[in-house]
Amino acid sequence: MITVEEVRRRAEMDAKTYGYYLTPQPDLLQGFLDGLKTNEDRYGYPLCPCRLASGIYEFDRDIICPCDYRDPDVAQYGACYCRLYVNKQVYESQNLPEVPERRPQDKQQRAYSAETAAAKQASTQAGQQKIQPTQTTVKKKLWYCKQCGYVVYREDPPYICPICKAKREVFAEIESKVEFMG
C-alpha cells in the first residue's frame, strides 16, 4: 500500500513540474493527501478526494488526480476544484478561491448511478458476489494530439495534452471500433 508520504512526494513533484504549489493550508493539505491515499488503497488509483467515484476505472478516469480539469481550473481560477493545486499568487496570498465544478453533468451522473446500484446490490447480496454496478457502455476512441503526436485511448480527449499542453481542440480522433463494457 502507498504511504501518505509517497502521495505527498508525488504531488509535490507534480506541482513542481507544472509550476504549481500545494495548498498553503496545512490541515487542508493533510486531508487531501489522506483522501488520495484512501482512494488509492480502495480503488487502485488516486481518485479526486473531493468527488464521488464510481469505482469503475473508465468512468473515473477524468478525475484521477491530477484530474483532466486541473490545468484549465488553475489557469482560470488559480486553483484546482479541490484547491490542492494552486498557482503562485494564491499560494502567497493564502486566499483560496471558489472553483466551480467543471466536470460535465453526465459524467457526475454516471458515478451516482454506479454507486446507487452497487449499494443496492451490496445490501441484498451481503457481499457474497462481486458488485456489478450499472451496465453502461463506454465508447472509447483513439485520440492523438496533432501538435506532439501523443496518443491516448479514452472516451473523450483530455482538456490539456499531458505532454505538450495543447488544448483539447488540437486532438483528433483516429477511427476505432473497440468498446469497453463497464
**Of 38, 51, 159, 32, which Cα lies nearest the Cα of 111?**
51
Contact 134, 121 (CB under 8 A): no
Rounded distance between C-alpha atoms, residue 168 and residue 172, angstroms = 9
The count of residues interacting with ligand SF4 (CB under 6 A) is: 14
**By the rule CB under 6 A, 145 interacts with ligand SF4:** no
**By the rule CB under 6 A, 33 interacts with ligand SF4:** no
Rounded distance between C-alpha atoms, residue 77 and residue 25, angstroms = 17
CB of 65 vs ligand SF4, minimal distance in Å: 3
What residue has cell string 453533468?
Answer: 105
**By the rule CB under 6 A, 114 interacts with ligand SF4:** no
Cell of 89: 499568487
**By the rule CB under 6 A, 85 interacts with ligand SF4:** yes
Which of 33, 84, 96, 160 contacts ligand SF4 by CB under 6 A?
A: 84
Which of 40, 53, 66, 96 contacts ligand SF4 by CB under 6 A?
A: 66
Rounded distance between C-alpha atoms, residue 83 and residue 15, angstroms = 12
**DSSP bridge pairs for 22:** 85
**By the rule CB under 6 A, 91 interacts with ligand SF4:** no
Site for ligand SF4 in 123-142 (CB under 6 A): none
Binding site for ligand SF4 (CB under 6 A): 32, 48, 50, 63, 65-67, 69-70, 80-82, 84-85
